[in-house]
Amino acid sequence: MRVKILVCVLTVVALSGCSVVNQIRMRFENDDLTARWTDKQDTVALPTRYISNKPHVQVAINGEEGFLFLVDSGASITYLMDSPKVANLKLEKGFDLIAAGWGDGDDSTAYQVAVEQLDLSGVSFEGVSMAYLPVSKSPYYERPDEVIIDGVLGHDILKHFVWRFDEKHNQIDISRTAFRPGPNDVAVDFDISMSKLSVPVNIALGGGRVIEHDVLIDTGSRHYFKLNQTYLDEESISLNLPSVEAADFGLSGKAVHQRVTLPGITIGSIHMPNIKTNLIVSDDAEDFWVIGSAALNQYVTVLDYQQNKLFITPYPNHQFSSQFNLLGLELRKITSGHFVVRYIMPDMATAHVDINVGDIITSIGGSASEQLTEDEWLTISDQPGEYEICRLREPDTEQGCFTVVSEPIEGYSNRSGSTDVFKL
């Protein structure tokens, strides 16, 4: 057996150099980590911040506090971004890595680093390997000042805990004991494969058609639901739903895709009606089936790595809903507090005014962009209406302001009256 494994490794090296071997090595680099609890309590509340639906926590590295990390169940390994705060750590470069992910462009170039200690509010790990992602080598970023977080906690760290997410109360807890569900908690078993979590989901496609498919739990995704368009094509399934063209960005750059509103999905006994869905084209029809934080955050959720279970608890008197970017600007915060335009949806209102990719948005609807959070921007863009949007096109110093009128899209953003049956 050892001979066969050695032959396989040598074959991989011969065909693709060291990059694939390094990826495999990195996947197992932190297997011997042990979480050290300095507090006698079994549960610890982490300093929490939700940004664009995505959960973030404050961690300490090598004794220095205040590093902002995304909690990403869709990431196999833990990453450091080359933010100014991370750069000041002056970590020694290790072996080279390729950071591949969502997107149709080139993969990101990264390398391995080691930190002496990673601390989550008194729960620590010693000798942690991380992937270091230089901004200049990643198509995820267009400019260095887009780096507003310091890193990403991946599966190699997440698997040591039971994670509880409560976006409504801005709380994230970690525990070392298995979750004990109450009468209102819905439990769904998840599988772990290649450091990814997946649950079975029933998906209503309209016209009485329902399919079941395993879907990845991705807390690092700001979206609601992703469905593989290649699968639909191979199965000769036509959705016949109104759609808009949009784009998103990942470690492999930009991915232009269509978005629709499906009648709904069902996880266990939890029903999510009229869910905005990204239709992803890929080489593999089994890739990019994802439920993201925009959907999960509408409940209290627990990822229990001890029991391999997802627990979902509905908020009292809450009805599931999706938000829609009716203004059509894909914006990203930069360190100045302004927004930068990364993409303009061609079917939406801002496609018809003088706003370009790369412009800096200085105000929206009379509010200075520095005063608006990403989540507030999403709420504004979800509401049809008339807005004044001002932009600055560097290196110009004079801004241009435009009145934009957004409207609902029949069958896409206003499906509250849908009569399709999605409950099984």
The CATH code of the domain that includes 396 is: 2.30.42.10
3-state secondary structure of 182: coil
* Helix orientation angle between 19-27 and 2-16, rounded to the nearest 10 degrees: 130
- Write down the pLDDT at residue 40: 85
Q: Are 285 and 46 in contact (CB under 8 A)?
A: no
Q: Are 345 and 246 in contact (CB under 8 A)?
A: yes
10-residue mean pLDDT series, the chain (424 residues)? 41 49 85 92 96 97 97 96 95 87 68 97 97 83 93 98 98 98 97 96 96 98 97 96 93 89 98 97 93 98 98 96 97 96 95 96 97 96 97 91 96 66 38
**137 phi and psi, to 5 degrees?**
-110, 10
- Write down the pLDDT at residue 8: 43
310 and 339 belong to one structural domain = no
Q: Which residues of 140-153 are buried (b: 16+ CB within 10 A; e: fewer)?
A: bbbeeebbbbbbbb
150 and 195 belong to one structural domain = no
Any domain includes 180: no
Query: What is this structure's pTM?
Result: 0.92
3-state secondary structure of 333: strand
CA–CA separation, 97 vs 20, rounded Å? 8
244 and 366 belong to one structural domain = no
Collect all residues with Cβ–Cβ distance below 8 Å to 16 and sequence separation of at least 6: none
Any domain includes 195: yes
86 and 147 belong to one structural domain = yes
335 and 300 belong to one structural domain = no
46 and 118 belong to one structural domain = yes
CA–CA separation, 232 vs 223, rounded Å? 20
In eight-state DSSP terms, residue 382 is H
3-state secondary structure of 355: coil
CA–CA separation, 363 vs 382, rounded Å? 17
- Write down the pLDDT at residue 423: 39
Any domain includes 8: yes
214 and 299 belong to one structural domain = yes
81 and 130 belong to one structural domain = yes
In eight-state DSSP terms, residue 102 is S
List Cβ<8 Å contacts ≥24 apart for 174-178. Answer: 174/43, 174/44, 174/46, 174/120, 174/123, 175/42, 175/43, 175/44, 176/35, 176/37, 176/42, 176/43, 177/42, 177/43, 177/306, 178/304, 178/306, 178/307
Any domain includes 232: yes
195 and 293 belong to one structural domain = yes
Cross-strand partners of 159: none
- Write down the pLDDT at residue 231: 97
334 and 291 belong to one structural domain = no
What value does the CA radius of gyration of the chain take, rounded to a whole number of Å?
22
CA–CA separation, 305 vs 307, rounded Å? 6
Euclidean distance between the first and final Cα of the chain, in Å? Answer: 47
Any domain includes 414: no
Q: Are 208 and 421 in contact (CB under 8 A)?
A: yes
CA–CA separation, 69 vs 59, rounded Å? 7
CA–CA separation, 160 vs 176, rounded Å? 8
In which domain, by residue range, is 273 found? Answer: 186-314
48 and 113 belong to one structural domain = yes
**379 phi and psi, to 5 degrees?**
-70, -40
Encoded tokens for 146 = 């887009």
18 and 151 belong to one structural domain = yes
Any domain includes 83: yes
CATH of the domain at 288: 2.40.70.10
**224 phi and psi, to 5 degrees?**
-90, -60
Any domain includes 257: yes
Q: Based on the structure, what is the number of domains in the chain?
A: 3
Any domain includes 264: yes
- Write down the pLDDT at residue 415: 63
